């Protein structure tokens, strides 16, 4: 779908017949959001307000208030930001290790969300900071931020039905002798005896992790992992449970002299763009601490 942006308005240029209400539902807007759009007449078709039951035809221009103003939730922090992809709707960044996606409490400003806020301010964007998913403090890799309130419900929905595919690289302790794709379909829940830990338990929530060995060398293996659910610490818990603990994961295994953190990196995202419907594949390479160990496992990588 073609579009034009004139902040805070978005104009969608319709390419096939659809009722306005149905289009709103396709973007998974809440009943409250749809009600407010109607009540406040925050949309027009070809510069005129029309009934929400109106059928749009090819070439019609639906203009609506799609962007919100910065709500000041995250104090700006002016640090370098590794941007992998950006357009009017999405910002995808490479999170370094040892950084929270959002601050642990409102008095702190030491998170990725604060750095994104600083970037928005530097660019003159009057936008709230909204992340679509999270990574652990020590885990590096790709994180999606949504810049447009209109498309955020659709992105949240895509994530909930597993249409945003997240791929990770993990270095684990242990040798794997095959290169087949394995599945760990075990439920995960809180460890009642340890505040910070999760465990495999039949009382937990459904979780499924796929992993495949890329190469093994001298007791270490490089795995490619894919999630079909997003439980807290999921890859770490599942791999430790099957005897393949992540290197350097001091919570679920033990520290390592080879790396100062858990060797886990979110290296690839696959998603459908919420507006253009283009299939997107975004990749970022692991940081140097993991790269050095990966090259010792497989020098060709």
Dmax over Cα atoms in the chain, in whole Å? Answer: 69
User: Could you give the CA distance from residue 142 to residue 123 in angstroms, rounded to a whole number?
Assistant: 21
Q: Which residue has the higher pLDDT, 271 or 300?
A: 271
| Sign for the pseudo-dihedral over CA of 113, 125, 280, 11 | positive
Query: Using alpha carbons only, what angle is made at residue 199 by residues 196 and 203, rounded to the nearest 5 degrees?
Result: 115
- Average pLDDT of the chain to the nearest whole number: 95
Per-residue buried b or exposed e for 1-13, using 16+ beta carbons within 10 Å of the residue's own CB: eeeeeeebebbbe
Give the H or E element holding residue 231: none
Q: What are phi and psi of 115, to 5 degrees?
A: -70, -40
Res 1: pLDDT: 86
Instruction: State how far the alpha carbon of 23 is from the alpha carbons of 9, 10, 12, 78, 179, in Å.
Output: 16, 14, 11, 38, 44
Fold of 2-65: 3.10.290
Mean pLDDT across 154-183: 95
Q: Which residue has the higher pLDDT, 198 or 106?
A: 198
Query: In this model, does residue 42 exceed pLDDT 90?
Result: yes
Mean pLDDT across 92-98: 98
Given 2.120.10.30, 3.30.2350.10, 3.30.160.20, 1.20.1250.20, which CATH number is that of 165-267+292-297? 3.30.2350.10
Res 177: pLDDT: 87
Do the domains 67-161 and 2-65 match in fold?
no
**CATH code that applies to domain 67-161:** 3.30.2350.10
Catalytic residue among 70, 136, 178, 191: 136
Q: What is the pTM of this model?
A: 0.94
Res 65: pLDDT: 95
| Among candidate residues 157, 211, 204, 164, the one with its CA nearest the CA of residue 183 | 211
Active site residue 60: no
pLDDT band at 33 (very low <50, low <70, confident <90, very high): very high
Q: Are 223 and 265 in contact (CB under 8 A)?
A: no
Query: In this model, does residue 118 exceed pLDDT 80?
Result: yes
pLDDT, tens only, 274-290: 999 999 999 999 999 99
Res 300: pLDDT: 79
Mean pLDDT across 10-38: 96
Half-sphere exposure of 59 (CA within 13 A, CB side): 0
Domain residue limits, the chain: 2-65, 67-161, 165-267+292-297
User: Could you give the CA distance from residue 91 to residue 207 in angstroms, rounded to a whole number?
Assistant: 28
Res 108: pLDDT: 85
Q: What percent of the chain has pLDDT over 90?
A: 93
Query: In this model, does residue 298 exceed pLDDT 90?
Result: no
Res 301: pLDDT: 72
Query: In this model, does residue 106 exceed pLDDT 80?
Result: no
pLDDT, tens only, 214-264: 999 999 999 999 988 788 999 999 999 999 999 999 999 999 999 999 999
Q: Which residue has the higher pLDDT, 165 or 107?
A: 165
Bridging pattern class, strands 140-146 and 264-272: parallel
User: Could you give the CA distance from residue 266 to residue 154 in angstroms, rounded to a whole number?
Assistant: 22
Res 214: pLDDT: 96
């Amino acid at each position: 779908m073609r579009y034009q942006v004139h902040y805070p308005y978005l104009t969608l240029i319709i390419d096939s017949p659809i009722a306005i209400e149905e289009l709103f539902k396709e973007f998974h807007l809440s009943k409250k959001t749809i009600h407010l759009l109607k009540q406040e007449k925050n949309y027009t078709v070809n510069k005129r307000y029309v009934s929400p039951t109106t059928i749009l035809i090819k070439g019609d221009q639906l203009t609506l208030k799609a962007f919100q103003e910065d709500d000041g939730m995250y104090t700006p922090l002016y640090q370098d930001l590794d941007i992998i992809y950006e357009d009017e709707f999405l910002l995808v960044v490479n999170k370094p290790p040892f950084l929270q996606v959002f601050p642990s409490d409102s008095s702190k400003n030491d998170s990725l969300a604060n750095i994104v806020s600083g970037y928005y301010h530097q660019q003159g964007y009057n936008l709230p900071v909204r992340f679509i998913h999270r990574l652990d403090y020590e885990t590096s890799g790709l994180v999606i931020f949504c810049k447009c309130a209109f498309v955020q419900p659709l992105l949240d929905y895509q994530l909930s039905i597993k249409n945003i595919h997240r791929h990770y690289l993990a270095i684990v302790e242990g040798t794997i002798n095959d290169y087949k794709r394995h599945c760990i379909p075990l439920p995960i829940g809180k460890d009642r005896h340890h505040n910070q830990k999760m465990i495999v338990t039949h009382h937990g929530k459904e979780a499924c992790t796929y992993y495949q060995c890329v190469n093994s060398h001298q007791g270490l293996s490089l795995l490619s992992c894919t999630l079909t659910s997003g439980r807290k610490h999921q890859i770490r818990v599942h791999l430790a449970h099957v005897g393949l603990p992540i290197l350097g994961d001091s919570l679920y295994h033990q520290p390592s002299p080879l790396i100062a953190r858990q060797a886990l990196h979110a290296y690839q995202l696959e998603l459908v763009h919420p507006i253009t419907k283009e299939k997107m594949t975004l990749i970022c390479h692991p940081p140097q601490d993991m790269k050095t160990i990966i090259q010792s496992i497989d020098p060709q990588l």
